[in-house]
């Protein structure tokens, strides 16, 4: 099973998401998005934001040490409406 997961990651079919609490999630790498996770109940919401993507691209272009950014991950943590 581990070889299959490693192969799917290498082929860019699965994306590995490192959560807090020593947990890892694998999901299909079909569409770029980010996550918001509840610190209390672990509910997860996917989100996309073009302004964030544009800002991250600008940061990459303005870097003094890096010529390119190949990938990034943005995970937000807070409390969901149910847990407030």
pLDDT value of residue 78: 95
43 and 78 in one domain? yes
pLDDT tens string, the chain, 84 residues long: the values are 778 988 888 888 888 877 666 777 788 888 888 999 999 998 999 999 999 999 988 998 999 999 888 888 888 999 999 999
Domain count, the chain: 2
40 and 22 in one domain? no
C-alpha span between 14 and 26 (Å, rounded): 6
73 and 43 in one domain? yes
**Residue ranges of E strands in 3-71:** 14-19, 23-28, 34-38, 44-47
pLDDT value of residue 21: 65
């Amino acid at each position: 099973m581990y070889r299959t997961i490693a192969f799917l990651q290498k082929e860019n079919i699965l994306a590995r998401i490192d959560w807090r609490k020593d947990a890892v999630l694998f999901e299909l790498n079909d569409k770029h998005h980010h996550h918001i996770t509840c610190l209390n109940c672990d509910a997860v919401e996917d989100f996309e934001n073009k302004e964030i993507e544009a800002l991250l691209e600008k940061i990459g272009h303005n870097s003094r040490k890096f010529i390119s950014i190949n990938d990034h991950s943005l995970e937000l943590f807070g409390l969901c409406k149910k847990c407030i």
